[in-house]
Structure 1
Amino acid sequence: MSERSTQIRALASEPRLEILRLLKYPQQHFSGQVSADPQTFGVCITLIAEALQVAQPTASRHIDLLRQAGFITIRRYQKWSYCQRNEAAIAEYIQWLTAEIGG
């Protein structure tokens, strides 16, 4: 599957869009995270699952597709995984999409 197809598929899901929305302002949505600063280090997948009100394996599948698309990065620390938006990749995708179908 091409990179663009993966990106389009990643964004064709309300839960994945919600993950990107939540991660845009991690301090606002995940201020209770005590293991690491959500803004500088990322947000624990467990907290993302709780915010979406889904099981952690379900959240992990959504997050993995967003990672494959390049929209988020994942950092392991001890036994947890932390997610952050990849703002450069998101901006590049928006620029590509605008050029492809924009006015």
Structure 2
Amino acid sequence: MASAPRLRVLRLLAEPQRHFGEQLSADPAEFGVCMTLIAKALGVAQPTASRHLEILKQAGFITVQRHLKWSYCKRDEAAIGEYLNWLGAELAQRPEVKQGR
């Protein structure tokens, strides 16, 4: 998650209709956003965008579905919510104090 392009992808996919409303092949909110449009929005080559998207997919933050020759990405809101809950709980824990001998 320590990557500006990956955070940008997640922000863009949070409002797919707003950022990718020009997508004609499928409803971006219902079906997901074509990887080509994500690469264009990031201003990077498609292989670079694909690498960022693969990392987000491996982390479970997006789902990817293929249709014909295109791949469409969509945020996994449940997985993102679980991660944020886990992170909040981890950050709220007090560190253990080790006793010196």
State the TM-score, normalizing by the size of structure 1.
0.89
The corresponding residue for 1:7 is: none
Amino acid across the alignment from 1:102:
A
Task: Report matched runs for 1:2-17 at 5 Å.
Answer: 11-17=1-7
SS of 1:81's partner is: strand
In the alignment, the residues of structure 2 paired with residue 68 and residue 32 of structure 1 have an alpha-carbon distance, to the nearest angstrom, of: 27
In the alignment, the residues of structure 1 paired with residue 40 and residue 89 of structure 2 have an alpha-carbon distance, to the nearest angstrom, of: 36
**CA shift for structure 1 position 40:** 0.1
In the alignment, the residues of structure 2 paired with residue 39 and residue 71 of structure 1 have an alpha-carbon distance, to the nearest angstrom, of: 16
Tell me, which stretches of 5 or more residues in structure 2 are unaligned?
94-101
| Structure 2 residue 101 is matched with structure 1 residue 92 | no
In the alignment, the residues of structure 2 paired with residue 99 and residue 51 of structure 1 have an alpha-carbon distance, to the nearest angstrom, of: 33
Tell me, which stretches of 5 or more residues in structure 1 are unaligned?
1-10
Q: 2:42 aligns with which of 37, 43, 52?
A: 52
Amino acid across the alignment from 2:38:
I
**CA shift for structure 1 position 102:** 2.7
- Structure number with higher helix proportion: 1
In the alignment, the residues of structure 2 paired with residue 26 and residue 46 of structure 1 have an alpha-carbon distance, to the nearest angstrom, of: 14
Task: Report matched runs for 1:63-82 at 5 Å.
Answer: 63-82=53-72
Deviation beyond 4 Å, 4+ runs, structure 1: none
In the alignment, the residues of structure 1 paired with residue 68 and residue 6 of structure 2 have an alpha-carbon distance, to the nearest angstrom, of: 25
Higher relative contact order (CA 8 A, sep 6+): 1
Aligned residue pairs, count:
93
Amino acid across the alignment from 1:24:
A
State the TM-score, normalizing by the size of structure 2.
0.91
Structure number with greater Rg is 2
Amino acid across the alignment from 1:33:
Q
| Structure 2 residue 18 is matched with structure 1 residue 24 | no
In the alignment, the residues of structure 1 paired with residue 48 and residue 6 of structure 2 have an alpha-carbon distance, to the nearest angstrom, of: 11
Amino acid across the alignment from 1:17:
L
